[in-house]
């Protein structure tokens, strides 16, 4: 379905690119280029989180409009395969954005092989977290319009207000503790640490 829409309605490709790239442009202009690397990493996090949040709208569409979820539940298909398939369809929409951001990351980010692996693992955990949130919120309402509103609101709250496009050190205490309420804050710290933009304290085990 995702490939069908991308092929027949190319506007969806533009839509997946505008949001992350616009924030990169904004943060780069505001910081005069100093936060370009953080902006690219933040865009990856934004895409991953938005994929999970968009899942709630698609689940509502399948359940309430197409009435397919009852058929899937009564079939041998497990819930893990069902959710994984729906999540994969969301990632397909983001292929153009991943391609552009991958090129930018290769040019501007000083990632090493271990740093790249750490970043990929952090983004994967972010995706799993957002899928869990999206699946949970999908059970709260039977109205797809309301779920679209939830998706956009949560994506905005979790990817623009927390320190995703900039280091958490820019937030003074005690406001910094509020940032830790968002799961995207931890993902941003991990990928920024992997790229060498943020030094995380190391715990010594006794």
Helix, strand or coil, per DSSP, at residue 66: coil
Domain ranges of the chain: 2-194
The pTM (predicted TM-score) of the whole model is 0.83
CA–CA dist 187, 194 (Å, integer): 11
The predicted pLDDT at position 7 comes to 63
Instruction: Walk along the chain (206 residues) in steps of 10 and give the mean pLDDT of each run.
Output: 57 69 84 89 90 74 64 73 77 83 90 90 90 76 66 80 90 89 92 89 56
> Would you state the pLDDT for residue 205?
47
Closest CA to 170 of 25, 20, 35: 35
| Helix axes 183-194 and 113-137, enclosed angle (nearest 10) | 170
Contact 202, 173 (CB under 8 A): no
Q: What is residue 119's predicted lDDT score, i.e. its pLDDT?
A: 92
């Amino acid at each position: 379905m995702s490939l069908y829409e991308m092929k027949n309605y190319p506007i969806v490709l533009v839509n997946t690119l505008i949001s992350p790239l616009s924030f990169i442009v904004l943060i780069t202009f505001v910081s005069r280029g100093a936060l370009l690397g953080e902006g690219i990493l933040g865009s990856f996090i934004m895409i991953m989180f938005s994929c999970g949040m968009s899942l709630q709208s698609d689940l509502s569409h399948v359940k309430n409009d197409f009435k397919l979820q009852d058929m899937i539940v009564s079939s041998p298909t497990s819930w893990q395969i069902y959710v994984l398939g729906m999540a994969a369809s969301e990632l397909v929409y983001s292929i153009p954005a991943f391609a552009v951001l991958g090129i930018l990351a290769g040019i501007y980010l000083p990632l090493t092989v271990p740093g790249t692996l750490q970043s990929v693992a952090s983004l994967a955990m972010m995706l799993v977290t957002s899928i869990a949130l999206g699946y949970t919120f999908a059970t709260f309402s039977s109205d797809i319009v309301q779920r679209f509103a939830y998706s956009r609101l949560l994506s905005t709250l979790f990817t623009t207000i927390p320190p995703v496009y900039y280091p958490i050190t820019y937030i003074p205490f005690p406001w910094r503790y509020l940032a830790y309420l968002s799961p995207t804050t931890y993902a941003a710290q991990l990928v920024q640490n992997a790229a060498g933009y943020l030094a995380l304290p190391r715990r010594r085990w006794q």
